[in-house]
Structure 1
């Protein structure tokens, strides 16, 4: 597999804010210059999990968990290194480059190129269509917003896009992505005709499909989406997510609406955190994608019967994705209204107040399940238990499942313990509907780590801890000859770290640590990064200088010189060793002269 270049890892860690990343999964509270929470990796009641912005590093004083943004994703989301890098790259809209002996072909590259051609074609057609521009102006879409979302126009012609390509390969690619349709006779025609076109983009901003809104006298449904193909699965994509991430550095919440124009109207009003599903109910994949960048999702629906039914489907799909730190809420608009009409009628501030007052999932679930039940009777409470049991079984996170269960117990007017007993009784009497054992299990069992061990700081370890604490200090200490050749554990790592920190004095702890990812020293360095050596930078620089001088002092130099001289007498020295010996001789001469 092609290797991810180190310079890209460095850039990624510089762009991603570990506070925003962790806060999207575990709510953090500011404590001084750091942020704290109850540790997501072991059970505790008092917060001992701290995130240090300056280092871009986290550490739990309870269980010892620690690491960078990549480490957090690998442990919290159970990702391997490459998937964690991809997740961070998606967050900031970067494409991962690779280093390999031969370039790896993109098997879907011809499809991407065809869709990029279609995207460019539709944009050019919009500039030439007075009818399409008039439609967007009538919907109060500015040129700036149209450009930001890449809006285009498919002329009301059977072969506009078809005629714009001049190769059989490109026509076949457009056919594979659903942009062209083949007749029984073998001839092609354009799928989209007489429609304003909405490009659907992936996390890197590449167009993977289109939605089209009919205007004028064109035939067909009002809205129409590309069919699914290898690059596009509508149950996984959220329209407007790429644009939201480009507009906002941090996304505290996402509003999930039902239409392209809803997203665009909200963006026009300054609400840049709206996304839309593509003609489907909100799926678990949608929610997993949303929760990668935020901790709160608000699903917006009409207040009519169809809207409530759609909301209930969304709730059922949301249950497996829920866990502590994630919140799903529901906003019901007045019947006959949608976000587009509401934000134009009442303004952005009033609409955002509606969003802020959206109903929590637990309350909506409680209200919906209790409808038409008399909870003052045994029969009503038994019916609630029967309705709630399969839904609670879908919640994989134990803590969230218990809290949701307590909410329903309150609705029934029962003590939580009695409610739990009734649920258990119902489960025992209905074996055919019991969930599989792993369905009700938490997705991420809390790891019972031993208490962190105190690290004994040898001079080399102490020097490493100082550099990890404040990498810029390396520029303030004297260079020592051939530190890497000392016969001491970690000396080669210390020499390499000094070299990196001198060359890149602004490097941060997290970026520095990732230089050793996959090497034997990496876990030891992560532990050292949790160790604070007391003192200001000036004091630490003097202390580090003293450590290095001691490590490379007369005894250390004499021992290495003896080793090299013995080798010279027996096997001879290579050029590098000769240069090292000369440097050591010069260092010893300087020491003798000085003292």
Structure 2
């Protein structure tokens, strides 16, 4: 990715007011808005609300929601609402402003141009497939769609088409338009010659469902077989430069708009379910693209609404699918971010239920959606007997394993309390005051990835292959003098700053610490925004490009404040090479987790003591937490670090964390 000139970004900001860009997504509260001062207010587009708590300051170019704390500038707003990366957001805004993008790096330009050409091919395919649905060859397909109750308006809205029963009809039609075979293959629409067979169409004798991304581009297709003996009832486009099935959802663009108007976001199993739901008035309906729901898709759903509804078919397969989604979501849920499960009658999917019983029946199912814990509890207990101590102990073990996967400490505690209540009901015993299942989360596993340092990312001084970081002569005394800023910076925040600064200065390490960025809990809003920006950045960025993205996302002042901290400037992440930064980030992460684990145990022990539940187990837990923190403070055993380096790292962190509060850490 290229680095955009500051003058270009400034000119783009000047040409497009933030209120004009945001105004496409919100309805302004004109009673509260003061246009003359550039002071705009509206209900927040990022969470459902009726009051106007979303504020846009046109003069400063920033927005902020007093309800959900969403904040950013014009580039960040387009990234969040359109679900695109920074460069794509700039391209969208530049197109609106009529500004040509600066000349690109040849490789990046070639990749972008390829996606553009492939999108043009898929648009031609959409037109052709739609025309085929009106031909005599598609009479059976039209009859099938009529039987499913789809109106002409719905067929047009979802651009449903037809692929005829001929192996190369599409290829010949596209060749007549001058589209080369390699572009058709690149778009996932053609299969090359193989095993003595000629090149052929990918979709043959199928009803076609175009798949569009949040920007409205056709990125792929799904096809339902008309032949009952076909090997696959549904066939999707393969992975292409345009189509990543695990990172997109069918109908997401229109569903997001409907959810913004207050409709529940419903996740169904397939295309026909989504279409039937939308036709019945449930327009905020989406579906995964031929695979099980992925973590990336869950994050996309949570950007739209805090509690998407997973619609489960009323059969065993539907229940299993729901449990897979629940297991995937369990480590990701937090306060205000979860799932609910709408279980349909046995043998029914949304399409069946709507056709047989009408939209009201579907509404009743959605209104009766169950919590995720209800689904998990049913799995662990339904059809099982607990008539012996061994069986009860096995249930306790399985329930603890479920709770241990919840990373959010507060949410895990509430889950534990509810599990204790359900367990007491099941066994017919009084519910004790202290939850039985309040367990710490499972320790994070270390990523198993290979890293090759890239010296091109080092800008401050020349890099010599094999060179290792060593602390400057005054490192220990300097770190000790780098105290907590005016009493507002805690040791945990110091460690967070070292971690984030390391990833900013060495973007090549981001992939190795993705788990940390996805699951980490940050102590400041600025750290949250930096972590999100790092996670969303494209692979292969250089440090300068990363700084551009972060400046646009969080502002120059916040970024400079972080990088100007004295303990950051003398740390291995700043003064060392990639290997030293890697070790430093790992050590900081280990120490941060150990400190938080001990603080968590201490806090919970204090609560238990106040409740009169203190016992020997509490003392043991505190002792174990102390041991883990002590172990984390020891030099790290790593094959790539010398004994001298291990001692240097330990000295650096010991001096950093031993600093008394009240001193400034920022070096102007």
TM-score when scaled to structure 2? 0.55
Counterparts in 2 of 1:280 and 1:420: CA distance versus 1, 3 Å? same
Cα distance, 1:237 vs. partner? 1.9
Question: Which residues of 2 match residues 421-436 of structure 1 at below 5 A?
Answer: 423=439, 435-436=444-445
Q: Match for 2:345 among 325, 334, 353?
A: 334
Counterparts in 2 of 1:21 and 1:324: CA distance versus 1, 3 Å? farther
Q: Distance in 1 between matches of 2:558 and 2:412?
A: 40
Q: Please name the residue that 1:19 is paired with.
A: 43
Cα distance, 1:301 vs. partner? 1.7
Cα distance, 1:156 vs. partner? 0.9
Matched-pair contact (CA < 8 Å) for 1:13–1:69: no
Q: Distance in 2 between matches of 1:244 and 1:60?
A: 25
Q: Distance in 2 between matches of 1:160 and 1:353?
A: 45
Counterparts in 2 of 1:521 and 1:274: CA distance versus 1, 3 Å? closer
Q: Distance in 2 between matches of 1:14 and 1:29?
A: 16
Q: Distance in 2 between matches of 1:190 and 1:441?
A: 42
* Structure 1, 363-372 or 343-352: larger mean CA deviation: 363-372
Cα distance, 1:145 vs. partner? 0.9
* Structure 1, 324-333 or 391-400: larger mean CA deviation: 391-400
Matched-pair contact (CA < 8 Å) for 1:194–1:218: no
- Gapped regions of structure 2 (runs ≥ 5): 27-41, 95-99, 425-430, 447-512, 527-550, 562-668
Cα distance, 1:88 vs. partner? 2.0
Cα distance, 1:449 vs. partner? 8.5
Q: Residue 288 of structure 1 aligns to a residue in which SS?
A: helix
Q: Please name the residue that 1:443 is paired with.
A: 519
Question: Which residues of 2 match residues 516-595 of structure 1 at below 5 A?
Answer: 518=555
Q: Distance in 2 between matches of 1:253 and 1:420?
A: 33
* Structure 1, 102-111 or 264-273: larger mean CA deviation: 102-111
Q: Distance in 1 between matches of 2:251 and 2:289?
A: 11
Q: Please name the residue that 1:125 is paired with.
A: 132
Q: Distance in 1 between matches of 2:369 and 2:346?
A: 16
Q: Match for 1:145 among 154, 168, 171?
A: 154
Q: Distance in 1 between matches of 2:273 and 2:329?
A: 22
Q: Residue 344 of structure 1 aligns to a residue in which SS?
A: helix
Cα distance, 1:377 vs. partner? 5.8
Q: Match for 1:200 among 203, 211, 228?
A: 211
* Structure 1, 82-91 or 174-183: larger mean CA deviation: 82-91
Cα distance, 1:163 vs. partner? 0.4
Cα distance, 1:262 vs. partner? 0.9
Counterparts in 2 of 1:215 and 1:54: CA distance versus 1, 3 Å? same
* Structure 1, 378-387 or 189-198: larger mean CA deviation: 378-387
Matched-pair contact (CA < 8 Å) for 2:263–2:283: no
* Structure 1, 6-15 or 403-412: larger mean CA deviation: 6-15
Matched-pair contact (CA < 8 Å) for 2:206–2:225: yes
Q: Distance in 2 between matches of 1:520 and 1:187?
A: 61
Q: Which has the higher contact order (CA 8 A, sep 6+)?
A: 1
Q: Please name the residue that 2:172 is paired with.
A: 163
Question: Which residues of 2 match residues 242-261 of structure 1 at below 5 A?
Answer: 242-247=253-258, 249-261=260-272
Cα distance, 1:375 vs. partner? 5.7
Cα distance, 1:19 vs. partner? 3.5
TM-score when scaled to structure 1? 0.62
Counterparts in 2 of 1:136 and 1:406: CA distance versus 1, 3 Å? same
Q: Please name the residue that 1:109 is paired with.
A: 116
Cα distance, 1:416 vs. partner? 6.5
Matched-pair contact (CA < 8 Å) for 2:65–2:71: no
Cα distance, 1:158 vs. partner? 0.9
Cα distance, 1:349 vs. partner? 2.0
2:402 is aligned with 1:402: no
Q: Distance in 2 between matches of 1:449 and 1:245?
A: 26
Q: Please name the residue that 1:76 is paired with.
A: none
2:98 is aligned with 1:89: no
2:436 is aligned with 1:419: yes
> Which structure is larger by alpha-carbon Rg, 1 or 2?
1
Q: Distance in 2 between matches of 1:329 and 1:521?
A: 37
Counterparts in 2 of 1:329 and 1:60: CA distance versus 1, 3 Å? closer
Matched-pair contact (CA < 8 Å) for 1:373–1:383: no
2:296 is aligned with 1:285: yes
Counterparts in 2 of 1:303 and 1:135: CA distance versus 1, 3 Å? closer
Q: Distance in 1 between matches of 2:417 and 2:435?
A: 11
Counterparts in 2 of 1:52 and 1:70: CA distance versus 1, 3 Å? closer
Matched-pair contact (CA < 8 Å) for 1:322–1:395: yes
Matched-pair contact (CA < 8 Å) for 1:320–1:396: yes
Matched-pair contact (CA < 8 Å) for 2:308–2:340: yes
Cα distance, 1:397 vs. partner? 2.3
Counterparts in 2 of 1:374 and 1:256: CA distance versus 1, 3 Å? same
Question: Which residues of 2 match residues 142-541 of structure 1 at below 5 A?
Answer: 142-166=151-175, 170-184=180-194, 185=196, 187-215=198-226, 219-247=230-258, 249-373=260-384, 378-413=389-424, 415=432, 417-420=434-437, 423=439, 435-436=444-445, 443=519, 445=521, 447=523, 518=555
Q: Distance in 1 between matches of 2:190 and 2:558?
A: 55
Matched-pair contact (CA < 8 Å) for 1:398–1:441: no
- Gapped regions of structure 1 (runs ≥ 5): 36-50, 72-80, 428-432, 451-513, 525-595
Q: Distance in 2 between matches of 1:140 and 1:297?
A: 26
Matched-pair contact (CA < 8 Å) for 1:141–1:265: yes
Q: Residue 209 of structure 1 aligns to a residue in which SS?
A: strand
Q: Distance in 1 between matches of 2:83 and 2:434?
A: 44
Q: Distance in 1 between matches of 2:202 and 2:263?
A: 38
Q: Distance in 2 between matches of 1:247 and 1:239?
A: 14
Q: Residue 198 of structure 1 aligns to a residue in which SS?
A: strand
